[in-house]
Amino acid sequence: MNKLDLIEMAKKARKLSYSPYSEFKVGAAVLCKDGEVYVGSNVENASYGLCMCAERNALYNALMHGKKKEDFVMFAVVADTEGPCSPCGACRQVLQELYPSEAPIYCANLSGDIKETNVEELLPFSFRKDDLK
Ligand code: THU
C-alpha cells in the first residue's frame, strides 16, 4: 500500500461523514505495519461541541482494534479544501500522543494536492505525557 492507496481509503471514509451542520466532509486513514488500515470520518452533533474529527476517529478506531503508536506507519487526511487539508489543533495534539512523531502524515484534497508532514512539524514544542512526570 502506498500513500495514494491510503488517501483513496481516506476518501472512501470521507463519504461516510456525518456532517449535516458544517456540510464539510473529512476522511482519514492510518496504515499499520501489519498492513491493516483503520479509517474515520468526522461525526457531528446538534450539540456542536461534541463534533468529532475524522483524524481522531481513525486513530481511536485503530486503538479499539488493539493497535498502538509503534504499529503506525502512514496517516492520511482528505477534505474538499482548496489546498491540502490540514489537521486541526486538537487532532495535532492527539496525533502527538498516539502517532509516531516522524512518521509521514499526508494532507490531501479532492483535486490531488498532497502535502507530506509529520507531528514534529505540525505541533512543535508540544505538551506531552513526559511533562506530567
Ligand atoms: N474537521 C475534521 O474532521 N478534521 C479537521 O482536522 C478539521 C475539522 C471536521 C470537524 C467538523 O465536523 C467539520 O470538519 C467542520 O469543522
> pLDDT tens digits, residue range 37-89?
999 999 999 999 999 999 999 999 999 999 999 999 999 999 999 999 999 99
Ligand 1 atom index nearest CA of 53: 3
Closest-CA residue to 87 (of 32, 20, 10): 10
Q: Compute, in angstroms, the gap from residue 1 CA to the centroid of ligand 1.
A: 26
Q: What is the pLDDT of residue 2?
A: 98
Beta 105-109 vs 114-117: how paired, if at all? Answer: antiparallel
Beta 72-79 vs 105-109: how paired, if at all? Answer: parallel
**CB-defined site of ligand 1, < 6 Å:** 19, 22, 24, 26, 42, 44, 51, 53-55, 87-88, 91
Catalytic residues: 55
Percent of the chain with pLDDT over 90: 100
Ligand 1 atom index nearest CA of 26: 3
pTM beyond 0.95: the answer is yes
Phi and psi dihedrals of 79, rounded to 5? Answer: -150, 175
- Band (104; pLDDT cuts 50, 70, 90): very high
Rounded distance, CA 59 to CA 111, Å? 25
Ligand 1 atom index nearest CA of 87: 6
Q: What is the pLDDT of residue 84?
A: 98
